[in-house]
Structure 1
Amino acid sequence: MEYKNYHFELTEQGVAVVLMDRHDEAMNTLGEEFVRELAIVVDRLEQPDVKAVVIGSAKKDFLAGADIKMFTDMEADETAVEALQALHEIYDRIEALHQVADKPVVAAITGACLGGGLELALTASMRICTDTAQLGQPEVQLGLIPGAGGTQRLPALVGIQNGLQMIVTGRPVRPYKAKKMGLVDEIVPTEKLLDIARKRAVEAIGTQQSKDGIRSKLRVAAIKDMALEGNPAGRKMLFKKATEMMVAETGGNYPAPRRAIEAIQIGIDHGRAAGVAAEIRFFAELVETPESAALRSIFFASQELKRDTGIDSHVDPLDVDTVAVLGGGLMGGGIAAVSAINAGVNVRIKEIDDAGVGRGLAYVDRVVSKRAKRRRMSEFEVDQIMNRVTGSTTWDGFERTDLVIEAVFEDLDLKRSIVKDVEAVVSKDTIFASNTSTLPITEIAKASNRPDKVVGMHYFSPVEKMPLLEVITTEKTSDETTATAVAFGKRQGKTVIVVNDGTGFYTSRVLGPYTNEAGFLLAEGASVEDIDSAMKSWGFPIGPLLLGDEVGIDVGAHISEIFLDAFGDRMKGPDMMAALVADDRKGRKNGRGFYIYDKGERKGVDDSVYGVLGLGAPKGMARSEIQERLSMAFLNEAALCLEEGILRSARDGDIGAVFGLGYPPFRGGPFWTIDTMGADVVVNKLDALAAKHGKRFTPAQILRDHAESGERFRT
């Protein structure tokens, strides 16, 4: 029989080899047609001539989970329940092949084995993977829980602790960790995967393993701490601790991790049937929550950006094989690292002295060494990468550079002088990119003889960890330059948004009113703890005052001056903040800021800061007022950036805020938040704040327009 999404082969030994190959997508995902046909494939596997089964993939990835678009159609309780019950039935039948019919089932895993893909692999009696495989249950990142048995089969296989860790965090595991915890039996080279899987399937025919599979062999490994997991009191303590850690990490803002813990606990305490029923019920409930809708909107937006070239024309990007990075500090070293490691290009770090070059090279070496320690790369790969990175205090070799990225201090004259120096030694085709976070690229490009080759590439610290790249274009930046910057950013592993030029662009500018308002709140009697804890509770990873310490209070003061010059009184913060700079408070980097630091470790609020600011003891302020004023300042500035054409779309504004600034993912980004609240509600709140606190809260006209029309920013 011919299948649209599967290849089927029956060997002479009776081993059915099923390779998943979704015909309408580059990656295998669980779409409706794919699932329906899987049921037909299982019909064939249940025939008596099949003695064993190998399930693999004809693509580079095994199965990356559900087609997320399906969830939009599931936003009704009954629909979700029916779809999940149908999938459960199919997976149960696959499990029954070895549990009931004594037919070994081997999952041959390569690449992404995530969500419903891992749940499929869990139905097998044996799992073999390549050293490039990635196994996980990432559903919580979409505001959901595993819906095809993952909350029951995974903890039963790897132990409660490991199961909770994987499901509640959503973080995937690599092959060696997966083998250690008992999730996979064997790790093999990619080119030998199917051959070894067939061999293991044949060996298991007629053995006890075909029935009990890995569960009997690895019972000891699956239960890491028998004393804790093997008795009711220990399990109760384990689930209590997991819940406490989850609340501490998420602030209780995400319902899915809590439901995941509950589903696992129900299954452990009351049996698998009860656990499965809870899993299906909770999944159907979660798919309708605003948190899941917001998280899914981020997923779809990020997928769209993977296909977005950053331009409206069809110009191809230039090839980039050699990159120069000017500056070997934290930003320069990070840019060099992702260029060499992820993009695979030759990198030359230029600094003013040998010590600076050494710092840049050492930074790359630290990033590479960490990955090698975690078995993300071999020693041979480490050597290859480090051989691609060189340093210099001169301009030697720059004539062969395709892209130059400067990461020096935020000084316009300095950056202009660098433009001239670079253009004197590179070819006419070389692109010059500035990593400035605030200075207009147009002003920097005034020093260029080739302004069409000048672009902004704003990275976020630490570069090797932060996912966003903000590409900034001027009126003179060519489409070819823009497309090249975007394409190279993607090669570096970044999610890339393209914005138009202007002081602070989008991500830096939107923080201006937000951090200023924190200063006003402080002046009115709110404490440092009040302000930072309120916004952490609202969903940000850290509050605005701690953010000031992390960025550097001196850096923030410099940026404030730039914003004041560009935007006038609307960006003017309280005058008292200058006193912090006068008192030599730079934040974490010199151990003196809003908080106290001991050898770089934050100890608590520095109460002397109130005296430095000329304030008395804090009087306190309602958390709701703090959250409203700070969030409204952020939302309004985001809207102004869209109104003025800095942002190309509301989608980019949401991704930029979430991926670059830590905006709460469960709120979907500022524009998704506005849509959720209603633009009319936002305008009313801003008008009330403006009446009480001044014109800085005057609503953007685009907000008034949407309030009147009822139109959403995101569709």
Structure 2
Amino acid sequence: MTQYESSNERPSAFSLSYSENGVAWLKIDVPGEKMNTLQSAFADQVSDVLAELKTKKDIKGMVVYSGKPDNFIAGADIRMLDACTTAEEAQQLATKGQELFAQLETLPFHVVAAIHGPCLGGGLELALACHSRVCSDDDKTRLGLPEVQLGLLPGSGGTQRLPRLIGVASALDMILTGKQLRAKKAKKLGVADEVVPHSILLEVAEKQALTEKPKRKHSFQDWAMGGNALGRSVVFDQAAKKTHEKTRGNYPAADAILEVIKYGLQHGVKKGLQQEAKRFGELVMTPESAALRSIFFATTAMKKETGSDAQPAKISKVGVLGGGLMGGGISHVTATKAGYPVRIKDIANDGIQNALAYNFKLLDKKCKRRIINKAELQSQMMQITGGTSFKGFANVDVVVEAVFEDLDLKHQMVRDVEQKTSPTTIFATNTSSLPIHQIAAAAERPENVVGLHYFSPVEKMPLVEVIPHLGTETGAGTSAETIATAVALAKKQGKTPIVVADKAGFYVNRILAPYMNEAASVLLSGEPIEHIDNALLDFGFPVGPITLLDEVGVDIGAKISPILLAELGERFKAPDVFDLLLNDGRKGRKSGKGFYLYNAKQSNAKKKEVDKTVYKLLSLEPKQKAAGLDIALRCTLMMLNEAARCLDEGVIQSPRDGDIGAIFGIGFPPFLGGPFRYMDKLGAKRVVELLTEHVDKYGERFTPCEKLVAMANEEQSFYG
């Protein structure tokens, strides 16, 4: 492939070169950035490129490709949206993008996008404006329109081009969920035309560019009843119903997406694009989008943080103690995400078999979905071994302990690990309730001991709490290197780590406990179980508190509650329900008996049914008296108050960490931005007023903490 540079080359994210065979090459390479993102400043650069192409009479085709080694275009630069002060400004950004992509689409020769790595948001919209798309089969390659996750819709033609390319139902599924497609799935749906090895991506794209432009018919195959008005109505009605079940009206972007796609199909592409830009501009200015974008900025910033000033130690192999649900999950993310060999130790062979079976089940599911092949499944399973002795632990760099919540047992684990491993091996304990310094008290090298609190199921939950201890009576606290290594391991496992203080409940469980206790108090006042759960679902939580208690396990709640009560005081006193439930064998889902029914017939039902016998056990006659919003506010206020206390006491290092911890750890409504952004939205004065009103109604546990009272008096906010 002989190429020569354009004569008017200048520093730009977009540069043209030409081959002797008549193929133009448009390279996208944002200077000084690891990832290609689209920025408003690039509009003139793209216009210059398009103007130059119009002067060339001998071009037979063009390939659009990335100059970055592992990404095409990761999307638009979200920072430019924060600079918009009005909906009209944001609308103009969208309109400009639409105009540029329309010019690309109308070029007289065959334009092919050669895609390797992430091709998301505006990146995919650019690719959709090309006439064909060739993707590498690399696992890094992902195609998607994730704007809905930022409270937005695709604003540069995505809502109009994608439905016409792959059909309405498939396009709605992609745009409403923000899901990202691997290359093979993209080809199967029709988003991509070819999938080839990365080594021949440009070669295949070049050949494609030299062929005639494809003449695509609008794709009606997914429009029920042949694409007639009735069929389209059915598709949209089903999508709207399914979407509302998930969003409960809390995410305006979802409704806007349905509206804009439907409008474009009814009135044509031109009017559809106008409506897309208009609604995009309006969504940018919504508080929901601002909150969701704040989460994006927070997680992006956190990726660069190391937890301490020290450099992390090198990790080559990881040990896991315990083959239960947590141990199986921790070994899975360590082997398959982080890529480290894992050695599991359990007291029984059954524990090892359970952990291996758990991993195989997860990998087999990926294999059946064609995410990995059988060879990759076998390769990843070979990364995980286990036994009932410490054989194979001599050279592990980190041991993650996931045994029962028993201090004597954990002390024994610390002593055993220190004897069987090297002096530099880190002991990370996955405890949810025991103070780390108490566990470290049994260590000869307490500086190597750290808390690493995962959430269940480990392979799904994105948060990890990293908990250094300050020292024991006989030894030092967690070293800076140990903290940095624990943070680095969590990131490699695909987690978002937050560093929290070694205090009772740490952060997530500490703010969750009063919320759950209050839900139990509401239940004991006679409110129906499903009414309580629905109230918090409507508020924006992904699962109701009573359902959550069943999922986590009543026995776990009963174990943690006395620890928090002893350490933190009467406001953590749980209602007297745990003993009654446990004496009746109601541990929740794991025992097949809880607040809801878990028999085989019920397991196949779409909607869970309440086990009404629990009312008799608790001496209750359920009757709906309180409004759903009142119940939601009552439970959530307890969480907000405790979150403010955690910040004041230094349990978390910043409001940002508190927001990410609550969203990623317990599903605090993302569209509210987290507890601290939500309190800023209400205003400290209003939060104190609400808490004071609840003191009068329900008791002293609602007393606003000193920090909130001071902030209210001084009219301060958490984010300034």
TM-score (norm 1): 0.96
| Counterpart residue number, 2:662 | 657
In the TM superposition, what are the counterparts of 1:517-536 in structure 2 within 5 Å?
517-536=518-537
| Counterpart residue number, 2:517 | 516
Q: Does 1:337 align with 2:354?
A: no
Q: Does 1:320 align with 2:307?
A: no
Q: Does 1:4 align with 2:12?
A: yes
Shift of 1:378: 2.9
Q: Alignment length, in residue pairs?
A: 698
| Counterpart residue number, 1:30 | 38
Shift of 1:436: 0.7
Shift of 1:13: 1.6
Query: CA offsets, 1:509-550, max 9 Å, x none?
Result: 111100110111112221111211100110111111110000
Q: Does 1:215 align with 2:248?
A: no
Quick one: which amino acid aligns to residue 398 of structure 1?
F
Deviating more after overlay: 28-37 vs 512-521: 28-37
In the TM superposition, what are the counterparts of 1:142-541 in structure 2 within 5 Å?
142-202=150-210, 204=211, 207=212, 210=213, 213=214, 215-216=216-217, 222-225=219-222, 227-311=224-308, 313=309, 315-475=310-470, 476-541=477-542
The answer to whether the 8 Å contact 1:530/1:621 transfers is no
Q: Does 1:94 align with 2:99?
A: no
In the TM superposition, what are the counterparts of 1:103-114 in structure 2 within 5 Å?
103-114=109-120
Q: Aligned to 1:57, which of 66, 71, 74?
A: 66
Quick one: which amino acid aligns to residue 320 of structure 1?
I
Query: CA offsets, 1:335-389, max 9 Å, x none?
Result: 0011011111110010111111111111111222222222222332222222221
The answer to whether the 8 Å contact 1:576/1:614 transfers is no
The 1:603–1:624 alpha-carbon spacing in structure 2 relative to 1, beyond 3 Å, is closer
Shift of 1:177: 1.4
Shift of 1:642: 0.7
Deviating more after overlay: 169-178 vs 263-272: 169-178
Shift of 1:50: 2.7
The answer to whether the 8 Å contact 1:3/1:37 transfers is no
Distance in structure 1 (CA, Å) of the matches to 2:226 and 2:244: 21
Quick one: which amino acid aligns to residue 352 of structure 1?
I
Query: CA offsets, 1:132-169, max 9 Å, x none?
Result: 32111100000000000000000000001111111111
The answer to whether the 8 Å contact 1:22/1:34 transfers is no
The answer to whether the 8 Å contact 2:169/2:223 transfers is no
Quick one: which amino acid aligns to residue 196 of structure 2?
V
Shift of 1:49: 3.5
The answer to whether the 8 Å contact 2:554/2:578 transfers is no
Q: Per the alignment, in what secondary structure is the counterpart of residue 604 of structure 1?
A: coil
Quick one: which amino acid aligns to residue 265 of structure 1?
K
Deviating more after overlay: 695-704 vs 399-408: 695-704
Shift of 1:174: 1.4
Distance in structure 1 (CA, Å) of the matches to 2:74 and 2:299: 16
Distance in structure 2 (CA, Å) of the matches to 1:456 and 1:665: 26
| Counterpart residue number, 2:86 | 76
The answer to whether the 8 Å contact 1:151/1:260 transfers is yes
Q: Aligned to 2:682, which of 657, 667, 677?
A: 677
Q: Aligned to 2:22, which of 14, 35, 57?
A: 14
Query: CA offsets, 1:158-202, max 9 Å, x none?
Result: 001111111111111111111111111100111111111111112
Query: CA offsets, 1:264-303, max 9 Å, x none?
Result: 0011011011111110110011000010001001111111
Q: Per the alignment, in what secondary structure is the counterpart of residue 20 of structure 2?
A: coil
The answer to whether the 8 Å contact 2:223/2:235 transfers is no
Shift of 1:638: 0.8
Distance in structure 1 (CA, Å) of the matches to 2:631 and 2:320: 41
Shift of 1:227: 4.4
Query: CA offsets, 1:208-244, max 9 Å, x none?
Result: xx2xx2624xx5xx43345435111111111111111
Q: Per the alignment, in what secondary structure is the counterpart of residue 686 of structure 1?
A: helix
Q: Per the alignment, in what secondary structure is the counterpart of residue 359 of structure 1?
A: helix
Distance in structure 1 (CA, Å) of the matches to 2:192 and 2:425: 48
The 1:226–1:137 alpha-carbon spacing in structure 2 relative to 1, beyond 3 Å, is closer
Identity percentage over the alignment?
48
Distance in structure 2 (CA, Å) of the matches to 1:404 and 1:333: 14
Q: Per the alignment, in what secondary structure is the counterpart of residue 398 of structure 1?
A: coil
Q: Per the alignment, in what secondary structure is the counterpart of residue 7 of structure 1?
A: strand
Distance in structure 2 (CA, Å) of the matches to 1:617 and 1:188: 61
Distance in structure 2 (CA, Å) of the matches to 1:227 and 1:425: 64
Q: Per the alignment, in what secondary structure is the counterpart of residue 575 of structure 1?
A: coil
Shift of 1:622: 1.9
Cα RMSD (Å)? 1.4
The answer to whether the 8 Å contact 2:555/2:578 transfers is no
Quick one: which amino acid aligns to residue 61 of structure 2?
A
Quick one: which amino acid aligns to residue 81 of structure 1?
Q
The answer to whether the 8 Å contact 1:75/1:287 transfers is no
| Counterpart residue number, 2:5 | none
Distance in structure 1 (CA, Å) of the matches to 2:206 and 2:506: 56
| Counterpart residue number, 2:554 | 553
Distance in structure 1 (CA, Å) of the matches to 2:382 and 2:164: 46
Shift of 1:42: 1.6
Quick one: which amino acid aligns to residue 53 of structure 2?
L
Quick one: which amino acid aligns to residue 179 of structure 1?
K
Shift of 1:692: 2.5
Distance in structure 2 (CA, Å) of the matches to 1:614 and 1:650: 41
The answer to whether the 8 Å contact 1:530/1:620 transfers is no
The 1:470–1:35 alpha-carbon spacing in structure 2 relative to 1, beyond 3 Å, is farther
Give unpaired runs (5+ residues) of structure 1: none
Shift of 1:714: 2.6
Distance in structure 1 (CA, Å) of the matches to 2:418 and 2:137: 45
Distance in structure 1 (CA, Å) of the matches to 2:392 and 2:517: 45
Q: Does 1:123 align with 2:118?
A: no
Shift of 1:569: 1.2
Query: CA offsets, 1:431-459, max 9 Å, x none?
Result: 00011111111111111111110001111
Distance in structure 2 (CA, Å) of the matches to 1:450 and 1:591: 43
Q: Per the alignment, in what secondary structure is the counterpart of residue 664 of structure 2?
A: helix
Distance in structure 2 (CA, Å) of the matches to 1:228 and 1:339: 48
Query: CA offsets, 1:594-635, max 9 Å, x none?
Result: 111113727411111122112234353221221111010111
Distance in structure 1 (CA, Å) of the matches to 2:327 and 2:89: 51
Give unpaired runs (5+ residues) of structure 2: 1-8, 471-476
Query: CA offsets, 1:573-605, max 9 Å, x none?
Result: 222442111211111111211111113727411
Q: Does 1:648 align with 2:658?
A: no
